[in-house]
Amino acid sequence: MRAVALDEFGGPETLQIQNLPIPQIEAQEVLIRVEAAGVGAWDPYEREGRFVEITGMKPTFPYVLGTDGAGTIAAVGEDVSRFKEGDRVYAAELANPKGGFYAQYAAVKADNVSLIPGQLTVEQAAVLPTDALTALTGLEKVLGLQSGESLMVFGASGGIGHLALQLAKRLGANVFAIASGDDGVQFAKKLGADSVVDGRSDDVLNAAQEFAPNGIDAALVTAGGERTDRALLAIRKGGRIAYPHGVMPEPAAPEGVAIEAFDGKFDPALIDRLNGLIDSGPFEVHVDRTFRLEDAGKAHDALNDHHLGKIALLIE
| Complete domains list, the chain, with CATH | 2-128+285-314 (3.90.180.10), 131-262 (3.40.50.720)
Within a 10 A sphere around the Cβ of 91, how many other Cβ atoms? 28
Residue 283 confidence (pLDDT): 96
Contact present, 102 and 311 (Cβ < 8 Å): no
| Residue 316 confidence (pLDDT) | 85
Please state, in angstroms and as integers, the Cα–Cα distance from residue 132 to each residue in 67, 77, 201, following that order: 13, 27, 27
Confidence bin at 181 (pLDDT 50/70/90) = very high
Give me the residues paired with residue 108 across strands. 30
Nearest CA among 152, 252, 131 for reference residue 207 = 152
> Which pLDDT score is estimated for 55?
85
What pLDDT score does 261 carry? 98
Residue 202: predicted pLDDT: 83
Tell me the residue type at 119. Q
Residue 93 has pLDDT above 90, yes or no: yes
What is the C-alpha separation between 91 and 130, in angstroms, rounded? 9
36 vs 118 pLDDT, higher one: 36
In tens, the pLDDT along 185-205 reads: 999 999 999 999 999 888 999
> How confident is the model at residue 273, as a pLDDT?
97
Share of the chain above pLDDT 70, in %: 100
Q: Which residue has the higher pLDDT, 14 or 316?
A: 14
The pLDDT tens digits for 43-59 are: 999 999 998 998 888 99
pLDDT, one tens digit per residue, over 208-236 is 999 999 999 999 999 999 999 999 999 99
Give residue 201's pLDDT.
Answer: 87
Determine the average pLDDT of the residues in 14-28.
98
Residue 118's pLDDT is what? 86
pLDDT surpasses 90 at 266: no
Averaged pLDDT for residues 10-15: 97
State the pTM of this model. Answer: 0.97
Give CA angle at 89 (88, 95), nearest 5°. 150
Q: Give the rounded percent of residues in the chain with a pLDDT score beyond 90.
A: 94
CA distances from 312 to 53, 61, 128 (A): 26, 23, 10
**Spatial CA neighbour of 151 closest among 194, 192, 190:** 194
